[in-house]
Amino acid sequence: MSSYISGFSDLIEQYEKYQKASDSWSDHAHGLNIRYFDRYCALHYPGQPLCQEMVDEWCRKRETETNTSCFTRTGGIRSFIRYLRDRGLTTVEPALPPKPEGRTYIPHAFTDEELRRFFNECDRIVPLRPELKYKMKKITCPVFFRLLYSSGIRTTEARYLKREDVDLEHGVLNIRKSKGYDQHYVALHKSMTELLKQYDKAAETIRPDRTYFFETPNGKYYSRQWVTQTFQCLWKKANGKQNKAVAYDLRHNYAATNIDRWADDTFEFDQKLHYLSKSMGHRSIESTLYYYSITPCLADILLKKTENSFNELLPEVGHEEN
């Protein structure tokens, strides 16, 4: 029996099956807002097929929303409409999204001492109780956050990693589920590969036959809230409440550290920037340059190494894909 109740419930079911088959469905990002949209249409347009008015009304920015929250709420609906249009199942146009507000958060610039204290805190975790989740936390945190630090992958990419996507023989991650769902590969440092091997072996003894590489005791991937809360707890213990940082700052640190080590030779710099862009999952070099421009320490490094040409290269782009 269908869980959808609108006049086009069959199309939503078809879309959901497609997304799940391509491993691109997220109950949080897609499912929740699709269900809200379905119920809205069932209430205000009972039994009616999908039409432009439904989409426009639902996607209109509300008084209680910011541009960014509206963009997020309606993203799944735009994806649904594009899916239908690509298959000739509708002539309805996806509503134009509001332009997200510029980000005001400035990524934290880590010092070596801060990072040393943070990872020492990760290594000192002691299970508070004998339950499985406490045992898993002890072995997961030191490896999970070191992976973010050493590879520059997004926190979501690390959470969604499956065991089959981690090549422990060659030290390569197959990032299937990324921002925008662009698949790419990440080569790991040999020391990180060895650490992942040790973790995999230890995790297998605690929780055999895992699906996800970093898996919760109930067989799911870790939530965004788990990453945020766990990082904050460990960071405050290591560096106090004054020096604020978030787990995503490890990605910024990875980019800044790599660029700062590169030679000033223009050809070599451009080549390495291209490789870094692909490794970090950006769709184009323009997106990478824009991403760096909004991170102060990265912009300063790039400007120093490319002189005035950086300003000429920097594009005007829309919603960035950091």
Same domain, 79 and 188: no
Residue 102 belongs to a domain: no
Same domain, 223 and 138: yes
Q: Which of 89-93, 238-242, 287-291, 313-317 shows the highest mean pLDDT?
A: 89-93
Residue 269 belongs to a domain: yes
pLDDT in tens, 158-183: 999 999 999 999 999 998 866 554 67
Same domain, 117 and 67: no
Q: Which residues pair with 173 in a beta bridge?
A: 166, 186
Q: Which of 89-103, 127-141, 248-262 shows the highest mean pLDDT?
A: 127-141
Quote the CA–CA distance of 63 and 69 in Å, as a whole number. 11
Same domain, 212 and 281: no
Quote the CA–CA distance of 187 and 184 in Å, as a whole number. 10
Residue 207: CA count within 13 A, CB half-sphere: 24
Confidence (pLDDT) at 99: 77
Question: Using 50, 70 and 90 to split pLDDT, how confident is the model at 296?
Answer: low
Write the CATH number for 235. 1.10.443.10
Same domain, 169 and 221: yes
- Listed residue (267, 265, 273) closest to 298, CA to CA: 273
- Strand residue runs (E) in 158-236: 166-167, 172-175, 184-187
Same domain, 234 and 130: yes
Q: For residue 281, give the 3-state DSSP assignment.
A: coil
Amino acid residing at 128:
L
Same domain, 145 and 47: no
Domain extent for 288: 262-313
Q: Which of 206, 239, 272 is the last residue of a domain?
A: 239
Same domain, 131 and 182: yes
Confidence (pLDDT) at 268: 65
Same domain, 125 and 26: no
Quote the CA–CA distance of 289 and 298 in Å, as a whole number. 10
Quote the CA–CA distance of 228 and 268 in Å, as a whole number. 36
* For helices 112-123 and 224-239, angle between their N-to-C axes, nearest 10 degrees: 110
Confidence (pLDDT) at 118: 97
Percentage of the chain lying above the pLDDT 70 cut: 79
Residue 106 belongs to a domain: no
Quote the CA–CA distance of 106 and 109 in Å, as a whole number. 9
Quote the CA–CA distance of 116 and 113 in Å, as a whole number. 5
Query: What's the token pair of residue 298?
Result: 């990265």
Quote the CA–CA distance of 253 and 263 in Å, as a whole number. 18
Amino acid residing at 106:
I
Quote the CA–CA distance of 255 and 277 in Å, as a whole number. 9
- Listed residue (185, 186, 218, 212) closest to 199, CA to CA: 212
Residue 272 belongs to a domain: yes
Residue 130 belongs to a domain: yes
Q: Which of 68, 86, 104 is the last residue of a domain?
A: 86
The predicted model gives 93-121 an average pLDDT of 85
pLDDT in tens, 48-93: 999 999 999 999 999 888 888 888 889 899 999 999 999 999 999 9
Quote the CA–CA distance of 220 and 299 in Å, as a whole number. 38
Same domain, 118 and 235: yes
Same domain, 235 and 140: yes
Residue 279 belongs to a domain: yes
Residue 230 belongs to a domain: yes
Quote the CA–CA distance of 90 and 87 in Å, as a whole number. 8
pTM of the complete model beyond 0.85:
no
Same domain, 60 and 16: yes
In total, how many domains does the chain have? 3
Q: What is the DSSP string of 271-310?
A: HHHHHHHHHTT-SSHHHHHHHHHTSHHHHHHHHHHHTTHH
Q: What is the DSSP string of 109-141?
A: ---HHHHHHHHHHHHT---SSSSHHHHHHHHHH
Residue 289 belongs to a domain: yes
Amino acid residing at 251:
R
C-beta neighbour count of 171 within 10 angstroms: 18
C-beta neighbour count of 258 within 10 angstroms: 17
